[in-house]
Chains A and B, each alone.
Chain A
Amino acid sequence: MSKLKVEARDFNLYYGDFQALKNINFQAEPNTITAFIGPSGCGKSTFLRSFNRMNDLIVGVRTTGETTIDGVNVYDKSINVDELRKQVGMVFQKPNPFPKSIFENVAYGLRVNGVKDKTFIEEKVVSSLKQAALWEEVKDKLKKSALAISGGQQQRLCIARALAISPSIILMDEPASALDPISTAKIEDLVYELKKDYTIIIVTHNMQQAGRVSDRTAFFYMGDLVECDDTTTIFTNPKNIQTQNYITGRFG
C-alpha cells in the first residue's frame, strides 16, 4: 500500500454545541479522486473544508482528533494556516473569480505569496491555464475581466487559479453544480486529467458524476462517514443499507 496523502483520525467538529462531524476516519492515497456524497447538511462540505481549515473562518468552531496531509496534522498548533492553504487548492461551488483580469486571477496566488519574478509568473499563468484546459479559449483576452467569460470558463479559471500555486491536493466543493451539462462534462474531463498530478477530493450532489470521475466514494449521513469504498463497490454493492437507499434514490 502506497503512502497515504490525506487521512482523518477520530475527527470531530462542532459548531458551538452542534456536532457537525462525528468521529470521522478517512484515508486517501496520492493521485486518486475521492467523491464525497450524501444529502444536504450531512457534513461532507464541512469535512472537505477541514483539510485546509476553511472552517476556521466560522466563529465557534472546535475540533478534536486529527486530519493529516502527508502525515502532518493540519490542526497542530505549529501549523501556519496560510502556508497550509498553499499546499491545498480549493475550488468552490459557484465560480468565484476576482473582479480582476483573467491573467491577474491566475497570478493572484503567486503574488500574495511574494513571487515577484515576472517571467516566472507569466509562465506559470500560461501553464496553469493550459492545465485547466482554458488556454485556447482565453489566450487572446488575458487582460479582459474574468467576469466577462462564461460560467463554465470561470470555473475552469478558478481551477487554473488553484493550480498556479502548485498545490498537491485539490478540494472541490460541488464544482459543477452551477454549470450547464456541457460545461460540467468539461470540468469532469479536466478533473480526470488532473488526477495524474494531484490528489483530488470532490464533493458532489450528482450521483452519476461521482460514478463517472471518482476512484473511491465516501457516503456521509448526519455527520457520520457511513461508508467509504471503491466507487464501483459503493455503487454496485454497498454494505450499508443507508448507502444503498441513498444511491438508489430512496431519500436525499
Chain B
Amino acid sequence: MNIRKTTEKIVEGVLFSSSTVTTVAVLFIIFFLFKSGIGLFQDSPVEKNYAIALNANNPVKNLSAKQIKDIFNGDITNWKQVGGKDGDIELFTLNELGSAYTEEQIGSNLEHIPTCLNEYVKQHENVITYFDKKFYPRNFQGKVLDIPKISVIDFLLGKEWYPTSTPAALFGVLPLIIGTLFVTFFAILFALPIGLITAVYMAEIANERTRRFLKPVIELLAGIPSVVYGFFGLVVLVPLIQQTFNLPVGETALAGSLILGIMALPTIITISEDAIRTTPIVLKEASLGLGATHWQTLLRVTLPYARSGIMAAFILGIGRAVGETMAVLMVTGNAAIMPHSLLAPVRTIPATIAAELGEAPMGGTHFKALFALGIILFIITFVFNSLVEVVKSKKEK
C-alpha cells in the first residue's frame, strides 16, 4: 500500500519535473535569443577600439554608418555630399600613412604613428581617417567623429546588409525580411492550390485503397531531411531553371520557392484533408438530399465548412516555409539584395543566420545582429502560429 503510494509520488514527480524542464528550456532559449539580439542596439557600427576622425575645421559633425561605408568605398567623394564644404574627400588610413611618411618618421616600432597621424590630420583639411585606438595621439588636434549606435530603424528599414564591411558595418535587414517573405509567398502560391486539390481528392474522391496508399506517401514527404530537398533542388531544379530561362545562374528565388512549396505540401495536405473530413456527414447528406451533385456539395457545403481548417493548414504551411533553412540556403543564391524578380537570387533570414554565424566572432556586433535576425524570425513565426489559434477559435464560436 505504502509502496504504491510512493511509486505514484515518484511518477508524479518525474512528470512534473519533465514538463518543468521543457518549459524552462523553451523560456531560456527565448531569453537567450532576446538577450543576445537586443545587445546589437548598444553597439556602434564601427568596430570597437577603432576611431574615425576628421580635420578639426571640417564642419561635418557626424556621419551615418552608410555614409562612412560609401566614403571608404569611394561612392561619396566630396564633402558637399554629406553636408560639408566643397572639397574632395581624402582617405587616410595606415596604408596611406605608410606612403606619406618614411620608415624613419614612423619609427621602427611604429612608436611615432600617433604623432604622424596628428600632424597629417591637422594639415589636411579634407582628410578622413580611420585608425586603431592604440595609435590615438596625445593632444589629438583632429576631430573624432561621434558615430551613433545602431538604431532599430536603421536595422529594420536599412536596405544594405554588409555585416563585415570596415570601417563601418551595415546591418540593414529589410532585404532579408522581404527576401524571406518573397520566397515564402511564392512557395505558398504554388503549394496551396496543389495541396488543396490533393486534399480534396484524398478526402472526397479517392477510394479507400488509393487513400491508404497516398496518405503515407505524403507523410513520408514530411520526413525527408531538408538537406536532401536542398540537394535535389541544387542538382535538378537549379540547372533546369538556368536552362529554361537562359540565366547566368540558376540559384534563384524561383528555385527556393519551388523547393519550399514542395516542403510545405505535406503540412497543407494533411491538415486540410483532416479539416475536409471533419465536415459532418449529415450536412453532406442534407445537400445531396436536396438534389445537389457531389461537386456542388463539395463546393457549397464541405469546403466552406472546412474553411478555417484549410486556413490553418495554409498558415502552418507558411510557418514551415518561413523557418526553413538548409534547402533555401542551398538553392537561392543568397544575395542580400532587395528581391525584384523570381529569377534573381535572394537571401532569407534563416539562410543568413546559418551561413554567417560560423564566421561571426562570438559576442561581436555581427554575432548580435544575427541573433537580432533570429528575433525577427521568431516574431514572424510566432505571429503565424498565433493566427492559427485565432482561426481555430473562430471556428469554435
**Beyond A59-B208, A92-B282, A108-B300, is A98–B291 a contact (Cβ under 8 Å)?**
no
Q: Is the CB of B290 within 8 A of A92?
A: no
The contact sample of 8 A-B pairs, CB cut-off 8 A, is A59-B208, A90-B286, A98-B286, A99-B305, A109-B290, A112-B290, A113-B291, A158-B286
Q: Is the CB of A98 within 8 A of B289?
A: no
Distance to closest chain B CB from A234 (angstroms): 28
Complex Cα spacing A92 to B293, Å: 19
Interface assignment of A38: CB less than 8 Å from any CB of chain B: no
Q: What mask results when residues 280 to 297 of chain B are scored 1 for a CB within 8 Å of chain A, else 0? A: 101111111111110010
Count contacts on A: residues with CB < 8 A to the other chain: 26
**Beyond A82-B293, A83-B291, A85-B291, is A112–B300 a contact (Cβ under 8 Å)?**
yes
Distance to closest chain B CB from A170 (angstroms): 11
**Beyond A98-B301, A108-B300, A112-B287, is A82–B282 a contact (Cβ under 8 Å)?**
no
Q: Is the CB of A96 within 8 A of B282?
A: yes
**Beyond A59-B208, A99-B305, A112-B300, is A54–B285 a contact (Cβ under 8 Å)?**
yes
**Beyond A96-B283, A98-B301, A112-B300, is A52–B289 a contact (Cβ under 8 Å)?**
yes
Interface assignment of A124: CB less than 8 Å from any CB of chain B: no
Nearest opposing residue in chain A for B286, CB measure? A96
Q: Is the CB of B285 within 8 A of A92?
A: yes
Q: What mask results when residues 43 to 77 of chain A are scored 1 for a CB within 8 Å of chain B, else 0? A: 00000000010100101000000000000000000
Interface residues of B, Cβ cutoff 8 Å to A: 208, 280, 282-293, 296, 300-301, 304-305
Complex Cα spacing A83 to B291, Å: 6
Which residues of chain B are near A90, meaning CB under 8 Å? 285-286, 289
Distance to closest chain A CB from B205 (angstroms): 14
Task: Return the contact of A96 from the options B208, B280, B291, B300 (Cβ within 8 A).
Answer: B280
Complex Cα spacing A142 to B151, Å: 56
Complex Cα spacing A54 to B291, Å: 11
Nearest opposing residue in chain A for B301, CB measure? A98
Nearest opposing residue in chain A for B289, CB measure? A90
**Beyond A59-B208, A92-B282, is A162–B287 a contact (Cβ under 8 Å)?**
no
Complex Cα spacing A59 to B280, Å: 17
Which residues of chain B are near A113, meaning CB under 8 Å? 291
Most chain A CB neighbours (cut-off 10 Å) among B280, B282, B291, B296: B291
Which residues of chain B are near A158, meaning CB under 8 Å? 286
Q: Is the CB of B288 within 8 A of A54?
A: yes
